[in-house]
């Protein structure tokens, strides 16, 4: 990834925060917030695939939804092609939505059960006014072809398809409006492993074909390894490490990343690996730990970690980590 520096930044997220208010027991208690995403910044270059990984509840999906403004972020800035999209009005946002698309996790919930595939694709094109009416039929057949579905699929309802096929319909719907950036929110997590591979390969093919940029949200490290150029690891609403895929998998710097990577099963019983097993549970995002959020579970935590929040620092080319002792631990 030596060329990263010259690459065009397509999406830039700065100090993004997403707090959700929670109901308190008493009227007099101060309002509490779930700090789902707490001050994260990153960039996404044109044509690349950046994966966000982390455990359940670390804020991966929330980040994706905030960028799409499906939930309005609490604070921060999101620049798309240099424009601050959080200040876009309804009309501007609607226009932008054609370029920013999303593929969802659950192929059974992401398609309206009362619309045929034809109606689903047609509506996408109609909302964004991307294709003139008489040409839409041809375009629909073309889209089905891209995602590997037969033309007969057009007049069927979603329940007549399998999970993998539905996911293909979801991808066709996203492609229908000629997007540049697609956020894949756990796009293959609900599928069988064999189908996962098919869909991942399809996504890769489409990326090459149309020069798409992917923000790939997943908890599955093998999937991430397969598809990403760069990987961002999140823990409890914070970014702990961002690096090129190879760097991250070969030489992780953050203790959390190390623990996460050591949980990938290796299909060879002869190989003895060092397993890092974390103690305890993920703390509550309502009242996250002070200092480094990982200090309650980190095997190397010191007094400093409890008091001081580590900044995201660059150690090595394009390898960012937020740990006070990353250098020490690397040795």
For tokens 């796009």, name the residue: 187
Query: What's the order of all strands across the beta sheet hosting 9-22?
Result: 32-45, 9-22, 75-80, 83-84
Q: Is 321 helix (H, G, I), strand (E, B) or coil?
A: strand
Hey, which residues does 79 pair with through a beta bridge? 12, 84
| 199 vs 14: CA distance, rounded Å | 31
Tokens of residue 261, six digits: 């990577």
Give the contact letters, 96-135, x = binds to other proteins (CB under 8 A), - = no: -xx-xxx-xxx-xxxxxxx--------xx--xx-------
Per-residue x/- track, 216-255, other proteins (CB under 8 A): ---x------------------------------------
Region of 2-10, 64-72, 253-261, 309-317 interacting with other proteins (CB under 8 A):
64-72
b vs e for 170-186, b when ≥16 Cβ sit within 10 Å of the residue's Cβ?
bbbbbbbbebbbbbbbb
Please state the closest distance from residue 301 (CB atom) to other proteins, in A.
26
Q: How far is the CB of 157 from other proteins (least distance, A)?
A: 5
Q: Is 190 in the site for other proteins (CB under 8 A)?
A: yes
- Asked whether the CA dihedral 112, 113, 116, 117 is positive or negative, the reply is positive
Sites for other proteins among residues 25-54 (CB under 8 A): none
CA-based diameter of the chain, in Å? 68
How far apart are CB 113 and other proteins at their closest, in Å? 4
Q: Closer to other proteins at the Cβ: 172 or 243? A: 172
CB of 70 to other proteins, least distance (A): 5
Which residues in the 133-162 window bind other proteins by CB under 8 A?
157-159
Closest distance between other proteins and the C-beta of residue 24, in Å? 18
CB of 155 to other proteins, least distance (A): 11
Q: Would you list the DSSP string of 131-167?
A: S-GGGHHHHHHHHHHHHT--GGGGG--GGGS-HHHHH
Question: Of 8, 94, 133, 135, which one interacts with other proteins (CB under 8 A)?
Answer: 94
Q: What are 100's strand-pairing partners?
A: 181
When asked if residue 73 is in the footprint of other proteins (CB under 8 A), the reply is no
Per rule CB under 8 A, count of chain residues that contact other proteins: 40
Neighbours of 245 (CB within 10 A): 19
- Contact set with other proteins (CB under 8 A): 56-57, 60-62, 65, 68, 70, 93-95, 97-98, 100-102, 104-106, 108-114, 123-124, 127-128, 157-159, 170, 173, 177, 186, 189-190, 219
């Amino acid at each position: 990834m030596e060329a990263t520096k010259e690459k065009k930044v397509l999406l830039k997220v700065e100090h993004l925060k997403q707090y959700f208010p929670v109901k308190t027991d008493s009227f007099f208690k101060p309002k509490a917030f779930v700090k789902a995403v707490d001050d994260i910044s990153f960039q996404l270059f044109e044509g690349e695939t950046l994966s966000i990984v982390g455990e359940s509840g670390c804020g991966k999906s929330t980040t994706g939804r905030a960028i799409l403004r499906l939930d309005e972020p609490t604070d921060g800035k999101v620049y798309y092609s240099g424009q601050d999209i959080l200040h876009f009005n309804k009309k501007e946002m609607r226009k932008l939505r054609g370029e920013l698309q999303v593929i969802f996790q659950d192929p059974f919930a992401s398609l309206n059960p009362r619309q045929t595939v034809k109606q689903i694709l047609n509506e996408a094109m109609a909302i964004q006014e991307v294709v003139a009416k008489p040409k839409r039929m041809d375009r629909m057949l073309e889209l089905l072809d891209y995602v590997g579905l037969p033309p007969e699929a057009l007049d069927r309802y979603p329940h007549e398809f399998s999970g993998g096929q539905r996911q293909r319909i979801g991808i066709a719907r996203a492609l229908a409006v000629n997007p540049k950036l697609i956020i894949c929110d756990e796009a293959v997590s609900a599928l069988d492993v064999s189908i996962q591979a098919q869909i991942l390969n399809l996504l890769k093919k489409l990326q090459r074909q149309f020069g798409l940029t992917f923000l790939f949200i997943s908890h599955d490290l093998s999937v991430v390894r397969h598809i990403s150029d760069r990987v961002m690891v999140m823990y409890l609403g914070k970014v702990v490490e961002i690096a090129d895929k190879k760097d991250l998998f070969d030489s992780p710097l953050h203790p959390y990343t190390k623990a996460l990577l050591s949980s990938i099963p290796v299909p060879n019983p002869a190989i003895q690996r060092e397993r890092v097993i974390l103690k305890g549970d993920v703390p509550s995002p309502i009242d996250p730990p002070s200092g480094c959020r990982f200090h309650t579970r980190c095997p190397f935590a010191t007094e400093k970690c409890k008091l001081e929040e580590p900044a995201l620092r660059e150690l090595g080319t394009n390898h960012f980590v937020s740990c006070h002792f990353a250098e020490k631990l690397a040795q």
